[in-house]
DNA sequence: ACCTGTTTATACCATTCGGTATAGACTACA
DNA sequence: TGTAGTCTATACCGAATGGTATAAACAGGT
């Protein structure tokens, strides 16, 4: 190795991730990516391959660093009701606190699916599947502990929770009132407590 | 008037609407709009002003022709429970039947809000507000008729229904299974029937 | 000191972007 | 039959698009 890279690939990828996260694939230009990462044009193509490849890497990083990590932490609580509650409260807090109102990179990409490569669609589909599975497991465990009535359909309720989570993140990007987001989150929590 | 327009402005606007609906503002190019409307470059700028102005007109047309019309029809049923039920069933049907998977133009634009002019944000905010108000009125009327328990908070449940509706339309653009959409719709209906 | 291999910086590429200007085609009215 | 007024077609604009090529700067191995 005659020479070392002057930038950290992981740090750079994270910066690129934020660009795609904010703007989406089409609206993020190479110039944007170069500006925000600070790296050189050649370096970008050498290291990451190109815009499309960089997007995939960025989305995978988000999926790994944010979604997987967050779900794993909640699951480690070993308290399903609290896990779901914290999931939604955290989500609302993160949404409101972000001055850039980026929303969730994964959910944002859901809307772009029709124009994306199958590879991207696969990452999105897998992410949605795992979030839903997380909710389903929460419900099933709570049922086994008699915290939730057996009459509740875990699969159906899990889908509803996924839907509400997505909506909170999407509405968070728009001029929808912030208290409304918390109200929706509370409805989500109520979904698996009383009924 | 020395000469008549060779195209119907309303029909052309509808075609343009479909382009923005499919692709969103940024990804829809002037070339796309010219191709799909069939009109001339000059005609587009003369008649509609430009890309931005055309987008606003298209979104307003959608809001008028689709959202307002649909809500008015449902409200005319004078049967809140059925109105909400049909709202969600129709929504799932329309989503699944559309081969282009465009979703809902208004909901799609929610995600683009951060990059849009205040004028567009205002249209979006108003649309969301009115959909939520529709749900709220449905609940309140049903409560007045003792079809829904008074313990239900109309405002909160209306927000949850709005969220579920949005999620169905957004998920409909992705490789999320179609049966799942109907499941979410059923959960929405259940929200205001039992509890 | 001289290669070797990698990273830089920069110039360059064709294409497309949104938007404008101009010239010609056309109909209605005088 | 002008002629006025509005349409269409097309050429054109500078800027930005994603992507490539080239050449200099650099550190390690021998």
pLDDT in tens, A131-171: 999 999 999 999 999 999 999 999 999 999 999 999 999 99
CA distance B132 to A177: 12
Find the DSSP H helices in chain B: 9-27, 30-37, 41-48, 51-62, 69-76, 80-97, 105-112, 118-144, 154-171, 178-191
pLDDT value at residue A188: 98
Distances (CA, A) of B96 to A114, A137, B176: 14, 28, 11
Q: Is the CB of B162 inside 8 Å of chain A's CB atoms?
A: yes
Q: What percent of chain B has pLDDT over 90?
A: 93
Q: Is the CB of B70 inside 8 Å of chain A's CB atoms?
A: no
**Torsion angle of alpha carbons B177, B183, B188, B193, nearest 10°?**
170
Q: Is the CB of A174 inside 8 Å of chain B's CB atoms?
A: yes
Where would I find the beta strands (DSSP E) of B10-169? Answer: none
Q: Is the CB of A130 inside 8 Å of chain B's CB atoms?
A: no
Residue ranges of domains in chain B, CATH in brackets: 59-191 (1.10.357.10)
- The answer to whether A1 CB is within 7 Å of strand D is yes
pLDDT value at residue B111: 97
- The answer to whether B4 CB is within 7 Å of strand C is yes
- The DSSP 8-state label assigned to residue B10 in this structure reads H
Average pLDDT over residues B114-122: 96
pLDDT at B194 over 70: no
Residue nearest to nucleotide D8 (CA to C1'): B40
Q: Which nucleotide is nearest to A49 (CA to C1')?
A: D19
Average pLDDT over residues B118-146: 97
Mean per-residue pLDDT of chain A: 94
pLDDT at A2 over 50: no
Give the end-to-end CA distance of chain A in Å, rounded to a whole number.
63
Residues 6+ apart with CB under 8 A from B188: A160, B84, B88, B160, B161, B164, B165
Q: Which residue has the tokens 């049909």?
A: B86
pLDDT value at residue B121: 98
Question: Which of A36-50, A145-159, B4-18, B126-140 comes out lowest in average pLDDT?
Answer: B4-18
pLDDT value at residue B1: 43
pLDDT value at residue A5: 66
Q: Which nucleotide is nearest to B42 (CA to C1')?
A: D8
Q: Is the CB of A110 inside 8 Å of chain B's CB atoms?
A: yes
Instruction: Quote the Cα angle for B72-B104-A96, to 5°.
Output: 105
Nearest to B36 by CA among B9, B61, B17: B17
What is the number of residues in chain A?
195
**What sign for the dihedral angle of Cα B167, B172, B173, B174?**
positive
CA of B69 to C1' of C19 (A): 35
CA of A49 to C1' of C8 (A): 17
Structure tokens at A118: 């199958």
Q: Which residue has the tokens 């009924």?
A: A195
Q: What percent of chain B has pLDDT over 70?
A: 96
pLDDT at A110 over 70: yes
Average pLDDT over residues B19-46: 95
User: What confidence tens digit (pLDDT) does each residue in B35-93 have?
Assistant: 999 999 999 999 999 999 999 999 999 999 999 999 999 999 999 999 999 999 999 99
pLDDT at A6 over 80: no
Strand D neighbours among A 109-168, CB < 7 A: none
| CB-CB neighbors (< 8 A) of B175 in chain A | 113, 121-122, 124-125
pLDDT value at residue B7: 77
Q: Which residue has the tokens 């979104």?
A: B59
CA A48 to chain centre: 22
Structure tokens at A130: 């795992």
pLDDT value at residue A3: 58
pLDDT value at residue B2: 45
pLDDT value at residue A4: 63
Nearest to B134 by CA among B185, B72, B187, B89: B72
pLDDT value at residue B71: 98
Q: What are phi and psi of A67, to 5 degrees?
A: -65, -55
Q: Using CB atoms, which residue from A110, A170, A180 is nearest to B110?
A: A170
Nearest to A46 by CA among A3, A10, A5, A1: A5
CA distance B172 to B101: 7
pLDDT at A47 over 80: yes
CA of B48 to C1' of D11 (A): 22
Residue nearest to nucleotide D17 (CA to C1'): A29
Q: Cβ A159–B121 below 8 Å, yes or no?
A: no
């Amino acid at each position: 190795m005659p020479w070392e890279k002057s930038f950290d690939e992981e740090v750079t990828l994270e910066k690129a991730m934020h660009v795609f996260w904010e703007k989406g694939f089409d609206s993020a230009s190479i110039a944007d990516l170069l500006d925000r990462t600070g790296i050189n044009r050649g370096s970008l193509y050498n290291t990451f391959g190109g815009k499309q490849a960089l997007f995939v890497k960025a989305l995978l990083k988000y999926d790994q660093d944010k979604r997987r990590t967050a779900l794993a932490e909640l699951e480690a609580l070993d308290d399903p009701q609290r896990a779901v509650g914290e999931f939604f409260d955290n989500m609302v807090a993160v949404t409101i606190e972000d001055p850039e109102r980026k929303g969730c990179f994964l959910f944002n990409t859901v809307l772009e699916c029709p124009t994306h490569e199958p590879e991207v669609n696969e990452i999105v589909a897998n992410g949605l599947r795992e979030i839903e599975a997380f909710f389903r497991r929460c419900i099933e465990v709570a049922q086994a502990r008699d915290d939730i009535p057996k009459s509740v359909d875990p699969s159906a309720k899990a889908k509803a929770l996924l839907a509400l989570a997505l909506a909170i993140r999407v509405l968070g990007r728009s001029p929808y009132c912030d208290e409304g987001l918390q109200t929706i989150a509370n409805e989500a929590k109520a979904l698996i407590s009383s009924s």
